[in-house]
Structure 1
């Protein structure tokens, strides 16, 4: 069950993004933002709640070698994302078999404007994944550099 703080965030988010019927998103928030599918799951906690955010990056590339290379790249990126806290993580959705980026966000202090900014950043990341599975650019130009500097950790 969603809390008043989460419902307020969803109301503000819907107002900013011109989504109608925010009430329908209180219990299961699945939205398309900048052409990318996102799911937000609210967790009530003693510290004020959390949002588990999953962004659909897309499929793993076809072919054993390409799949292995892309999976290795995601594991390398997870290594850099891990900071001992609830940082972002790349996953494979077991139902859809699609790559997702999971982010654990504290609800207190999260404003709709920041959520919109974050979804825009993640949508850009998803498009980068869909272009080349993070494999075609030199390491200094891969999305990892942007992701580690992103406000994902400070949200």
Structure 2
């Protein structure tokens, strides 16, 4: 959070994510209640972080625009969708339907899930643009093949 504020590298959504995580930790420490729920939310929120870091290292080393960069991006999107949206949605449902968590904990969980959906929309736009770019590049390559489709003999003009 301090890095993001000092270097101004992230936008409002990421700062909201960090703020909600910090507030959640402070809340459960003060209340001495619902630590399991908050830890599960934070773990689910950070499980995709290694792929973001690998992506950064690939960019810095010049290997991002390779099959490895595509694999990292695919796994990131798949994990984000599966864990933060899928599993996170199930956990939010359980939390909201349970009488045990305090209303403030339920509100915090819903806020964190809303931030995950904002991230998901942004990631979806990124994946759509990247897929379209890859498809257009592939189509251009198939229209202008590098190799002739002949068997090595010169074709006669008709």
Larger Rg: 2
Structure 1 or 2: larger helix share? 2
Same fold (TM over 0.5): no
State the TM-score, normalizing by the size of structure 1.
0.26
State the TM-score, normalizing by the size of structure 2.
0.26
Structure 1 or 2: larger strand share? 1
